[in-house]
């Protein structure tokens, strides 16, 4: 699963020369045997493109050497998704198995090319799924395609992971003054502590859920996306009272998540999210239309201006025509983006840059068919200021 944090890591890497390889893969069947051969052929294509930049052939072969380990890893190919993305910087490889049927493609140039992965991160499909039981808290990055577990550091692992809880000594083995002692004097600590009163168990659960809610609130504040909670009715009720997510909490599934496998969990969560995600896109288009119709300066359609605003973190919502490209590059001296013939060979894409910049700064990106774009433009942005 490719997440916003992965996108940020790739952006931070910024190799002066990077190789991005995309290919479709197979989950099962005899076609799996084709996949390592396909990667090997694409690696050879990457070598040719590196040589075309002026790199020596031996150096180019060394650059893509990390793909050899993947090609020869039998177990790696037995556990695939619909697509594989591989990024090379000359030292190591980063790869992502993604739920997208990717086209074969090799890109060589400054930084990495990530546009084929943007559908996973678009606001039309990105959300979180939180599951809570007394035994486990789990958080998943999800999209309309699939979901994958992530490991935030500030979440309690389970109800026993909450510090500062007083031990409760069960008094059922104590002897009332008017009654002889019952039970075994040698009862184990586990037996004594396992039979806690209802009030104490409830207070313990509430404190646990409070800490989970606070951790998720902070997580969503840093990366605003909608959330679906899966928990039993009691736990879900406590969470709704304690969270500050507001409209970001789109739905709660009152069910023990342990009773669902990953596929069932994703299907149940996406069934709740699907109407919300579609409405979010419609609302964004309507909002842009209202601003643009009122000549509000926050509604921008010029592609170069949109790309620059994205790099400055000024875009709240971006509407982007999918499968379109506008080549250009940054001009650091004039703080503009140019599209003249001299820079076309760089292969940099204004639309990709706009999407990446928007996502990196916490904005929302909606991918639309060209015919559905407002004003017939390739990019339409709602600025924060």
Per-residue pLDDT of the chain (385 residues), as tens digits, is: 688 788 888 888 889 999 999 999 988 778 888 999 999 999 999 999 999 999 999 999 999 999 988 999 998 998 888 899 999 999 989 999 988 889 999 999 988 999 899 888 886 667 899 999 999 999 998 888 888 888 887 899 898 887 655 454 444 444 444 444 444 444 444 444 444 567 877 888 999 999 999 999 999 987 778 999 999 999 999 999 999 999 999 999 999 999 999 999 999 999 999 888 888 889 999 999 999 999 999 999 999 999 999 999 999 999 999 889 888 765 544 444 444 444 334 457 889 999 999 998 989 999 999 999 998 899 999 999 9
**How many structural domains are present in the chain?**
3
Task: Based on the fold, state whether residues 137 and 47 are members of the same structural domain.
Answer: no
CATH of the domain at 361: 3.30.1330.30
Task: Based on the fold, state whether residues 222 and 241 are members of the same structural domain.
Answer: yes
Task: Based on the fold, state whether residues 45 and 135 are members of the same structural domain.
Answer: no
Task: Based on the fold, state whether residues 28 and 149 are members of the same structural domain.
Answer: no
Tell me which residue of 364, 348, 376 sits closest to 315, measured CA to CA. 364
Task: Based on the fold, state whether residues 99 and 155 are members of the same structural domain.
Answer: no
281 within a domain of the structure (yes/no): no
Task: Based on the fold, state whether residues 30 and 83 are members of the same structural domain.
Answer: yes
Tell me which residue of 353, 357, 282 sits closest to 315, measured CA to CA. 357
Tell me which residue of 10, 17, 1 sits closest to 356, measured CA to CA. 10
Q: What's the pLDDT score for residue 161?
A: 81
Task: Based on the fold, state whether residues 224 and 304 are members of the same structural domain.
Answer: no
Length of the chain: 385
171 within a domain of the structure (yes/no): no
Task: Based on the fold, state whether residues 146 and 242 are members of the same structural domain.
Answer: yes
Residues 6+ apart with CB under 8 A from 19: 46, 49, 50, 63, 64, 86, 87, 88, 89, 106, 107, 108
122 within a domain of the structure (yes/no): no
Residue after which a domain boundary falls, among 116, 149, 172? 116
What sections of 230-318 are H helices per DSSP? 233-242, 262-293, 303-311
Task: Based on the fold, state whether residues 89 and 41 are members of the same structural domain.
Answer: yes
Which domain, by its residues, includes 44? 4-116
Task: Based on the fold, state whether residues 145 and 54 are members of the same structural domain.
Answer: no
Task: Based on the fold, state whether residues 256 and 343 are members of the same structural domain.
Answer: no
Q: What's the pLDDT score for residue 143?
A: 83
Task: Based on the fold, state whether residues 237 and 199 are members of the same structural domain.
Answer: yes
Determine phi and psi for 197, rounding to 5 degrees.
Answer: -70, 160
Q: What's the pLDDT score for residue 172?
A: 44
Structure tokens at 183: 């039970």
180 within a domain of the structure (yes/no): no
Q: What's the pLDDT score for residue 224?
A: 79
290 within a domain of the structure (yes/no): no
77 within a domain of the structure (yes/no): yes
308 within a domain of the structure (yes/no): yes
CATH of the domain at 219: 3.30.420.60
179 within a domain of the structure (yes/no): no
- pTM score: 0.69
């Amino acid at each position: 699963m490719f997440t916003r944090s992965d996108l940020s890591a790739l952006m931070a890497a910024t190799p002066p020369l990077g190789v991005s390889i995309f290919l479709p893969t197979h989950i099962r069947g005899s076609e799996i045997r084709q996949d390592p051969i396909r990667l090997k052929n694409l690696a050879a294509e990457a070598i040719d493109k590196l040589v075309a930049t002026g790199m020596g052939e031996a150096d180019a072969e060394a650059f893509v050497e990390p793909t050899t380990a993947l090609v020869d890893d039998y177990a790696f190919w037995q556990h695939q998704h619909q697509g594989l993305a591989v990024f090379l910087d000359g030292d190591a490889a980063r790869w992502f198995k993604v739920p997208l049927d990717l086209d074969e493609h090799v890109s060589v140039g400054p930084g990495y090319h990530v546009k084929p992965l943007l559908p996973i991160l678009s606001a039309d499909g990105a959300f979180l799924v939180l599951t809570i039981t007394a035994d486990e808290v789990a958080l998943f990055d999800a999209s309309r395609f699939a979901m994958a577990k992530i490991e935030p550091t500030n979440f309690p692992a389970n109800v026993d992971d909450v510090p500062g809880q007083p031990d409760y000594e069960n008094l059922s083995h104590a002897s009332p003054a008017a009654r002889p002692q019952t039970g075994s004097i040698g009862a184990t600590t586990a037996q004594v502590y396992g039979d806690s009163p209802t009030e104490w168990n409830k207070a313990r659960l509430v404190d646990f859920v409070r800490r989970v809610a606070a951790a998720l609130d902070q997580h969503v504040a840093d990366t605003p996306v909608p959330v679906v909670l899966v928990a039993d009715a009691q736990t879900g009720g406590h969470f709704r009272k304690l969270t500050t997510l507001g409209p970001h909490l789109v739905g709660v599934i009152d069910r023990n998540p342990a009773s669902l496998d990953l596929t069932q969990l994703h299907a149940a969560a996406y069934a709740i999210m699907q109407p919300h995600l579609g409405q979010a896109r419609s609302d964004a288009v309507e909002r842009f239309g209202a601003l643009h119709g009122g000549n509000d300066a926050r509604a921008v359609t010029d592609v170069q201006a949109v790309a620059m605003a994205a790099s400055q973190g000024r875009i709240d919502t971006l509407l982007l025509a999918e499968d379109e490209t506008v080549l250009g590059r940054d001009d650091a001296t004039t703080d503009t983006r140019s599209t003249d013939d001299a820079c076309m060979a760089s292969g940099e894409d204004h639309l990709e840059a706009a999407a990446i910049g928007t996502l990196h700064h916490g904005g929302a990106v909606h991918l639309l068919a060209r015919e559905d774009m407002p004003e017939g433009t390739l990019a339409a942005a709602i600025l924060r200021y």
